[in-house]
Chains A and B, each alone.
Chain A
Amino acid sequence: MPGGGRCPDCGSTELVEDAHYSQSQLVCSDCGCVVTEGVLTTTFSDEGNLREVAYSRSTGENEQVTRSQQRGLRRVRDLCRVLQLPSTFEDTAVAYYQKAYQHPGIRAARLQKKEVLVGCCVLITCRQHNWPLTMGTICTLLYADLDMFSGTYMQIVKLLGLDVPSLCLADLVKTYCSSFKLFQASPSLPAKYMEDKEKMLSRTLQLVELADETWLVTGRHPLPVITAAAFLAWQSLQPSARLTCSLARFCKLANVDLPYPASSRLQELLAVLLRMAEQLAWLQVLKLDKRSVVKHISDLLQHRHTLIRKAFREGTLEVEALEKELQGRGPGQGQGKEEVGNSASELPEGKRPASPALLLPPCMLKPPKRVCPAPPASTVTGDENISDSEIEQYLRTPQEVRDFLRAQAAGQAATSNPNPP
């Protein structure tokens, strides 16, 4: 063993670790002298041949599984079972946890972070198998803070060099909508509010796809969009009975948390549907508003591909046309609308009111909160002279210093005597 040990007999350094009837021995390969024998008993001279190694520098630390790592691995398995994941996921998640634990930054992290790491490993496993699991769910299960979770998640993805695919929207819709308690009759659920699961799922999926194509999903948390889409789908399946129900009540009935952005997503989705309705001739005459458009959602969804394609194509044409004179085409537009038949595919070309709003994400449609003026071109060189007066404006005069100290002392005296005599 090349460890600096010397044979006491011949002085050679060629010591070999050998086993004699399963008892390990250190033997000199030159003269055959047994330098040390076994691990349990050593004489003083034997110890002189060995070098003391601190535990942290020995390999024992890497080979053994520490107690906190064992606890972490147990937590990973428990979390997989709670989420009812397939057994293969468990093994992958455990492997990720072990790989992460090899990094010193993780090994020395606080317990809180190690707990969150459990969730991160499970999340990465689910994402790679396209299992729709949101970070919110994991944070709720682990009682963890989303900030802590996000920091650890980004760190571990970078550390392990992983390619984590995005959340699969279609699967998330199916899982999330299946969790709504609207598909079975119950005492708390009025009869007219009960809905068929398949119909609602398919319509919600179509609405979510529509939202995705019209820039309502990019950059936003997916769950509120799905909630809003599910609500609209549910309403449109029986509008006469359900138009009076609000989004909050719907979520309470379905036994689902109402995410805060869901109401603004709902408004955006309704605005998109209204714009699509304006492009269908038989809906233009009805002059729909936010409530009445719900009744026609099935029509709009049926023709959504054509309408969106036309909207995107026409949007660019309109943007170019706006730069030219449009006044002359104004009177021509009204006639064009009346000529259109009932077929959705025969939408008149270029004779529709401009709808460029359909093409842009909502953040681009809102007016800017404050106009940022371009900074004036500065001619600073960095080496200018600094005048004394400019610096002195930042310094206190001696009188001001005295006043300040007096005020500070008075303030401290006041706080140290909270109860006035």
Chain B
Amino acid sequence: MEREERFLELYLDRCTAQDDLAPPGLPLLSPVAPYDVYIYNSSHPEAVFNSHLEEVKETSGGFSSVDLSFLPDELTQENKDQTVLRSKGEDEENCKTQSPQSKLPLSSQRDVGLGANSSSSSNSHSHLHPGDADSVQHSPEKPDTLPLASIAPMTPMAPVSEGSEIVPQLQNIVSTANLACKLDLKKIALHAKNAEYNPKRFAAVIMRIREPRTTALIFSSGKMVCTGAKSEEQSRLAARKYARVVQKLGFPARFLDFKIQNMVGSCDVRFPIRLEGLVLTHQQFSSYEPELFPGLIYRMVKPRIVLLIFVSGKVVLTGAKDRSEIYEAFENIYPILKGFKKA
């Protein structure tokens, strides 16, 4: 009985740790009424806890032997938020009620899955989600009537992209800066080797530096546009170098108001895409005119990014002010594109 109490303490300690992290623990009980069928079985708590702890140790290593049959079919298509919510909800009720022996892999799953909450299984979190994605064939053992509206939303841990390991590469950054002094473009073009100035064609000096490889347009008002850098830091460094060149030419140039105006990224999803199908289902966002341009122009609303999607699977993302917008836009478009993978 003493051993039993100690195991019970251990188990409940873990549950209370999770309770602290979830804001309203109590409302969870009422929606999970279907789960109240699992009555507290006092005769086998020891055995339950033993196998529970063993399961946790086992699953930290790998997921091949684990029973994922509890995961419903719809889990893969649902929002990652809902995945975490549902698992959180089920975990809560597992702590409160005793699940029968057959459901133990479930509770250990959930413990393991919520890496942010349980300290013992933080490393296994990354395994759970591919497991989710693979379990499409398994029918749900538990009724998935868990109303998620009543559960307080929890911030998901890391942005899980349902298996997309592709990261868009930044190709171009456009930034502006203010040198805060009037410039004599003719003098700049005369004294600088890397400058070209053709007033009849364009009213600015076009200057280039080799490292980082960028081009700048310098106007007589002192404003400057810097293009061609591959990262935000490189763009800032390049803009500073241009300001230094102008300084060395004798102007009282300063370096003010540096701002990144546009970022362009690109990536390859590696499968062909049926653009005609995509324009039919996402008509309000897409524009596909093969007579004019071979790619589909997708104007995403959140984040406000324009994507050029080509039949070869290459995607160009532009219009971002921040790197995270490009990543977010790609994570949003990837599941849509996967839907058009084959005819």
Q: Which residues of chain A have a CB within 8 Å of any CB of chain B?
A: 134-136, 146, 150, 153-154, 157, 163, 166-167, 213, 215, 217-222, 312, 359-361, 363-364, 374-375, 378, 380-384, 386, 388, 390-396, 400-401, 404-405
Point out the residue from B190, B279, B287 that lies within 8 Å of A405, measured CB to CB.
B190
Minimal beta-carbon separation of B134 from chain A (angstroms) = 16
Point out the residue from B230, B236, B343 that lies within 8 Å of A312, measured CB to CB.
B343
Minimal beta-carbon separation of B257 from chain A (angstroms) = 15
Shortest beta-carbon contacts, A-B, top 8: A382-B236, A382-B233, A219-B294, A219-B311, A380-B233, A218-B311, A150-B292, A394-B194
**Chain A residues with Cβ under 8 A from B289's Cβ?**
150, 153
**Chain B residues with Cβ under 8 A from A359's Cβ?**
272
Point out the residue from A218, A360, A396 that lies within 8 Å of B192, measured CB to CB.
A396
Q: Evaluate contact between B241 and A390: CB separation under 8 angstroms.
A: yes
Task: Write 7 A-B pairs (CB below 8 A) sorted by A numbering.
Answer: A213-B343, A220-B294, A359-B272, A380-B233, A382-B233, A391-B241, A395-B245
Q: Evaluate contact between B241 and A219: CB separation under 8 angstroms.
A: no
A151 to B, closest residue via Cβ: B292
A396 to B195, CA, bound (A): 11
Point out the residue from B191, B237, B244, B311 that lies within 8 Å of A396, measured CB to CB.
B191
Q: Evaluate contact between B230 and A361: CB separation under 8 angstroms.
A: no
Minimal beta-carbon separation of A407 from chain B (angstroms) = 12
**Chain B residues with Cβ under 8 A from A163's Cβ?**
283-284
Instruction: List B159-182 residues whose CB lies under 8 Å from chain A.
Output: 169
**Chain A residues with Cβ under 8 A from B327's Cβ?**
none
A136 to B290, CA, bound (A): 12
Q: Evaluate contact between B237 and A382: CB separation under 8 angstroms.
A: yes
Given known A218-B311, A219-B310, contact A391–B245 (CB-CB < 8 A): yes
**Chain A residues with Cβ under 8 A from B274's Cβ?**
218
* A-B contact sample (18 more), CB < 8 A, given A166-B276, A386-B241: A154-B287, A163-B283, A166-B279, A215-B311, A218-B272, A218-B276, A219-B275, A220-B290, A221-B291, A312-B342, A382-B232, A391-B241, A391-B248, A392-B248, A394-B192, A394-B209, A395-B191, A395-B249
Instruction: List B309-328 residues whose CB lies under 8 Å from chain A.
Output: 310-313
Q: Evaluate contact between A360 and B272: CB separation under 8 angstroms.
A: yes
A375 to B234, CA, bound (A): 13
Q: Evaluate contact between B169 and A363: CB separation under 8 angstroms.
A: no
Q: Evaluate contact between B169 and A374: CB separation under 8 angstroms.
A: yes
A3 to B5, CA, bound (A): 88
Instruction: List B222-256 residues whose CB lies under 8 Å from chain A.
Output: 230-237, 240-241, 244-245, 248-249
**Chain A residues with Cβ under 8 A from B233's Cβ?**
378, 380-382
A375 to B, closest residue via Cβ: B230
A412 to B211, CA, bound (A): 34
B293 to A, closest residue via Cβ: A150
Q: Evaluate contact between A166 and B192: CB separation under 8 angstroms.
A: no
A166 to B296, CA, bound (A): 12
Point out the residue from A134, A157, A360, A363 that lies within 8 Å of B287, measured CB to CB.
A157
**Chain B residues with Cβ under 8 A from A363's Cβ?**
310-312
**Chain B residues with Cβ under 8 A from A394's Cβ?**
192-194, 209, 245
A221 to B293, CA, bound (A): 9
Q: Evaluate contact between B272 and A215: CB separation under 8 angstroms.
A: yes
A199 to B9, CA, bound (A): 84
